[in-house]
Structures are given as structure tokens and as C-alpha cells.
Amino acid sequence: MENIVIIGNGISGVTAARHIRKMSDKRIMIVSAETDHFFSRTALMYVYMGHMQYEHIKPYEDWFWEKNRIELVRGYVTRVDVTKKELFIDNSRVLGYDKLIIATGSKPNKFGWPGQDLHGVQGLYSKQDLDLLEVNAPDKEVCKRAVIVGGGLIGIELAEMLRSRDIPVTFLVRETNFWDGVLPDGESKMINEHIVEHHIDLRLATNLVEILPDENGRVRAVTTDKGETINCNLVGLTPGVTPNVSFLSDSGIELGRGVKVNRFLETNMPDVYAIGDCAEQHEPIGNRRPIEAVWYTGRMMGEAVAQTICGNRMQYNPGHWFNSAKFLDIEYQTYGWVFSNRGKKEYESHFHWRHSEEKICITIAYHKDSKKFLGINTFGIRMRHEIFDRWLNEERDVDYVIEHLIDANFDPEFYKKYEAEIVDAYNKESGQTIKLKKRSIRRIFALN
Ligand SMILES: Cc1cc2nc3c(=O)[nH]c(=O)nc-3n(C[C@H](O)[C@H](O)[C@H](O)COP(=O)(O)OP(=O)(O)OC[C@H]3O[C@@H](n4cnc5c(N)ncnc54)[C@H](O)[C@@H]3O)c2cc1C
């Protein structure tokens, strides 16, 4: 029986295992160092915030794995020998494989700051990080102030978590506006305001210089490039993530920042594949990054590699880009491509609308010559994924999108709708007289 070994029990490794089991009788083993069972990393914050218990963020019951003949091995893979087709667990146990899937995810970045390894300095990635946070910041008496370094999605989650326990938070963000490498300026400025309104001490355009210890080797303060010293008991390092691949450095498997793969998720070594956060495409797919550290792409890669391993060689083909996240209580969705002011393509124009009082806005990107719809960001309005996918496939223009925007709205019926205001603003800006169409179930579900 063919022996499939998967390193990593995150979304990508577990999806691969589940799909291989659906299609075959192969022996499947998952080796992972972090936890016995798969859990939803994206829900870690809700455990700290008391909305859920750890048991609740495990998508499968513990009996699932044995019932489905997926063997779980707890341990850290220290080395892979591709010639003998073996891997070494904790430098002692040896495991043979016929096919190997590397799904080892990411680790938080550290940039060599003085003091970055002191007690009380941590990232937010793993279950162990969550446990450590309970030690470092159980409440505002133990943790009188936290400093978070790095203004991305994980940084703002950590800020929200700490604020849920009333812990004062200072947030050091290198950029001039929050996440402005990704978001257009109108949006990132709105998020700046929202962060401040949530009593988070946001310091824009500010870099960490040094983390200072107390006499016991615990963090006591940080210094910034603005010449300030900020006293604190916790430093949360959230300046992005890097693929977890250093254990492969002498394996002969080609590495860049991650494990180099082709569109079939195959590495340069026979029978070795890589998926999820740790995989790096030789050539980026469209406007996507070569490394995609997001949940749903890990799942898609897991599905694709399972097909290949079960004899139906399949490319990873992720379709139109989409993503969603939360900035405190503002829901954010993105479909297609809307680049930030810094990253904007020369052919890209934006229509931006923001509500006069509430923290609600959208940005639509379109081609400045053809007016072809390129993508949309929405904050505080929930939209239908399938509709934007269809409009992108059909290469609709921006006028069509504006005219039919109500079809895409996925907010509950009783929510206030803003499409009429959005159309008015678009007409004013473009000098047109577009009228908003009535919502049509036939159109929404493409019924003829
Ligand atoms: C706090 C947080 C919030 C997030 N929120 C979102 C979100 O809202 N939306 C979104 O799209 N994405 C989100 N992400 C990113 C998302 O969680 C990741 O993209 C996804 O978990 C990656 O899955 P993966 O299977 O590739 O790797 P991982 O989930 O990282 O799993 C890899 C596993 O492999 C183990 N491992 C690594 N090396 C070894 C080794 N040598 N031996 C044995 N085991 C090893 C690791 O310990 C880990 O358990 C979030 C991430 C974090 C940290």
C-alpha cells in the first residue's frame, strides 16, 4: 500500500489527507509538532476573548482521524532524506514515505531587534503562542501595557484580543497609514480612525528600535525611532510571517523564501509536494503573490495535491482573488484586484465612496480606458462572492457593477442599504445618470 506522509496538520495538510482518503485506500500519516489535532488558526483569537473554548475550534471530533484511518504522529521533523525517502522526527524516529507533502505553514517574522527574545516578547501564530499569551497577559494587573509591533491583520487581532481584557495597547505601525501597502488610502485612513476610537494608542510611521529588559530578563519597555521609551509588560511581534522551511535547508529540495513548486505543487524532487503557506510558486499566478499565506488557498492547494496523488494530476488553479478579514468590528471583503495607492497599476482607476458618519466604505477598481471592472473592496457591507466572481468572469464594466450593485448585497434584509447613495456619488464623480436597478433574484441566481 502506498504510504503518504504529510508534514503539518494545518488546513492545507489536513485537507490533502481528507481528500486522499475520500479517493483512495492509501496509508496516510500526518506528522505535526504543534498539537495532536487540527484546529482553526483563524479562530484562536476567540479563545482568548472568551467567545469559544479551544475544544470548539477543532473542526473535527477527536475520533474522526482513527475512523478515517489517518494516522497522527506528534513530533517535529528535523530532516528529510529524499534519496532514501525518509524523514527524521525529533532527530530520533525515522519514517519512510512513498509520497511526501510538506505543509508546514509559517512562523512569525523577527527582524533581529535587540531584546526580541526576552520573556514577555511573543508572536501570535501557534497554540503555544495562545497559551503563552495567557501567561504574559492574563489581565490588566499583570500586563499594565502591551506594545504591538507590525500593522497587519494579526497585529490588529492581537490588539482587539488585549483590549477585550482592558489591557492598554500601544500599536507601532511602520507605515504612514494602517496596512496602506494593501489598502487604498481612503480605507486605511478610515481604519486608523477606527483603531483610535477603540482606545488603541496607534503610532503611525513609528519603528521599534529596542526592547529593554528588567533585572529578571523580562521586557520592561521599548524604545522607538521617535525617541520615546514606552513602558510595557508584553511586546507582541506581528510584522508578518515567513514560510517554515529551515529544516529542509540541506535536503536538496529547492527553496526560495518557501518551498519552490510548479503549478502542480510539485517540488524539484520526485514524489515531494508542498502546499499552503510554505509553498512558493516559481511564477506568481496572475497578480497573486508567489507565497499566499491565507486559509482558503491552503485548502485549495490541499484539494489539488490530493487529486494529483490519487492519479488525476491537477494544477492549483485558484480563480479570482478574494479574501475577507475583520478590523475590530468592521468586516472587510475584497474580490478581484484593488491595489493600494502605493501599489496601484498604471491602468487602474478607483471609485471610492465613504459614508458620511459610519465606518462604511467601498472602493471599486476599474480599467481607466476600457472601464472594465477589476475588483472591489467593501467595509461594513457584506457582499456575495458568486456575484463578483461572475462579473469578473463576464468582464463587466464599472457602470454595470454600479447599476446592479444591489444584487451583490448580502446584508440581512433589515440592514440599512447604501447603494442609492453610492450610485449618486458615482454619478456626481463621473457626470453620468446611472439608475440603480431593482434587486433581482433571477439575476442573482442566474435563472433564465
Ligand atoms: C492569528 C491568525 C489569524 C489568521 N486569520 C486569518 C484569516 O482571517 N483569514 C485567512 O485567510 N488567513 C488567516 N490566517 C492565516 C492562516 O491561518 C494560514 O494561512 C493557514 O493557517 C496556513 O495553513 P497551513 O496548513 O499552510 O499551515 P499552518 O496552519 O501553519 O500549519 C502548519 C503546521 O505544521 C507544523 N510544522 C511546521 N514545521 C514542522 C516540522 N518541521 N515538523 C512537524 N510539524 C511542523 C506547524 O507547527 C503547524 O502546526 C491567520 C493566521 C493567524 C496566525
Rounded distance between C-alpha atoms, residue 248 and residue 246, angstroms = 5
pLDDT of 132 above 90: yes
Output the pLDDT for position 415.
83
Q: Round the average pLDDT of the chain to a whole number and report it.
A: 96
The residue-averaged pLDDT of 375-399 equals 96
> Which amino acid, one-letter code, is at 367?
H
The residue-averaged pLDDT of 139-154 equals 97
Q: pLDDT digits over 150-204, tens only?
A: 999 999 999 999 999 999 999 999 999 999 999 999 999 999 999 999 999 999 9
Residue 217, Cα to own-chain centre: how many angstroms? 33
pLDDT of 448 above 70: no
Q: pLDDT digits over 347-357, tens only?
A: 999 999 999 99
| Mutate-to-test residue for ligand 1 from 100, 109, 129, 295, highest number of ligand atoms within 8 A of CB | 295
Output the pLDDT for position 416.
84
pLDDT of 417 above 90: no
Please, are residues 100 and 7 in contact by the beta-carbon 8 Å criterion? yes
Atom of ligand 1 nearest to the CA of 302: 25
Output the pLDDT for position 335.
97
Instruction: List the beta bridge partners of residue 326.
Output: 331
What sign for the dihedral angle of Cα 123, 124, 125, 130?
positive
Q: Whose C-alpha lies nearest to ligand 1, atom 15?
A: 294
Please, are residues 30 and 21 in contact by the beta-carbon 8 Å criterion? no
Output the pLDDT for position 412.
80
Q: pLDDT digits over 297-337, tens only?
A: 999 999 999 999 999 999 999 999 999 999 999 999 999 99
| Mutate-to-test residue for ligand 1 from 14, 18, 32, 94, highest number of ligand atoms within 8 A of CB | 32
Task: Compute φ and ψ for 441, nearest 5 degrees.
Answer: -65, -35
Output the pLDDT for position 166.
98
Q: Whose C-alpha lies nearest to ligand 1, atom 35?
A: 8
The residue-averaged pLDDT of 107-127 equals 97
Please, are residues 139 and 111 in contact by the beta-carbon 8 Å criterion? no
Output the pLDDT for position 446.
83
